[in-house]
Amino acid sequence: MRKKYKLECGDHVLYLGERTCIMGILNVTPDSFSDGGKFVNCDAAVSHAEKMVEAGADIIDIGGESTRPFSEAVPIEDEIQRVMPVIEQLADKIPVPISIDTTKAEVARQAVAAGASIINDISALRLDPDMAGVVAGLNVPVIIMHMKDSPKDMQVLPEYDDLIKEVKAFLYEAVETAENNSIKRSKIVIDPGIGFGKNFAHNFTLLKHIDDFSSLDIPILVGPSRKAFIRNRLKVDSEKDLSPDLPVVEIGSQAAIAASILNGAHIVRVHDVAGTVATAKIIDAVNGA
């Protein structure tokens, strides 16, 4: 049974644990692994976000820098130019909180000023020394994720002696660091980082053991949608990597999402909101039976 939490996000409140919260992914980038280039146009991005909200998204997560394996960081000016027009247009149009997916404190600061109310930092406050102070000063929720090194090198032979123990210890220390920097515990969400510095087997192990992280007493976010471990498992023998947009990959994603919810995830980060709404309704009913 998931513990229940109240997450205050500016004018919005999310009641986590009563049902699964769905975060819709909106990448305004030319090179993200699944939807890169589809929503670089502001109008297209805004329209897609509105459709995700209509389909049942509880949060819209906007990112202006790809964090796919081996990706390079983009200049802060480019990231700001990509995300700000979309946030500014959406802030008054959608009735759900906007999350800014960034590792840069200045991007986070400007995004919140424009209407975002959650900061999603895959680096767990490590890549920008100013991020913790910005989060604390803005008093908004922050998602802190486990990742080895950086996106550029995280997939270079990731190894663990004890995967779950090490990821859990990392997140424990990250939460402690956040609190030591005046970030309220009630504003923190943890993410074990599916696909970030893990091999295919690691990702399946994480999905199986999501509940192990519940002892940290922090809401848990899981983001398996369309990632390489799913595509690799579904491909036939020596078949080339499957396109993330294939229907079979989305079916595999829904299976991974179902496993996440069954094992304790409070929030799932996904591309297909409508499909996930259906999955979550059924798995939430199973969990509540």
Q: Within 128-227, where are the H helices?
A: 131-138, 163-180, 200-208
Residue tagged active-site, from 19, 226, 227, 231: 227
Classify residue 116 by burial, with Cβ atoms within 10 Å: 0-12, 13-18, 19+: buried
Decide if 83 contacts 42 (C-beta within 8 A): no
Does 165 qualify as catalytic in the annotation? Answer: no
H or E segment and range at residue 120: strand 118-121
Task: For residue 25, give every residue at least 6 positions away whose Cβ sits within 8 Å of its Cβ, in sequence order, or none.
Answer: 34, 35, 61, 63, 225, 269, 270, 271
Task: For residue 166, give every residue at least 6 positions away whose Cβ sits within 8 Å of its Cβ, in sequence order, or none.
Answer: 160
Decide if 98 contacts 118 (C-beta within 8 A): yes
Residue tagged active-site, from 104, 109, 198, 269: 269
Does 185 qualify as catalytic in the annotation? Answer: no
Q: Which residues are catalytic?
A: 227, 269
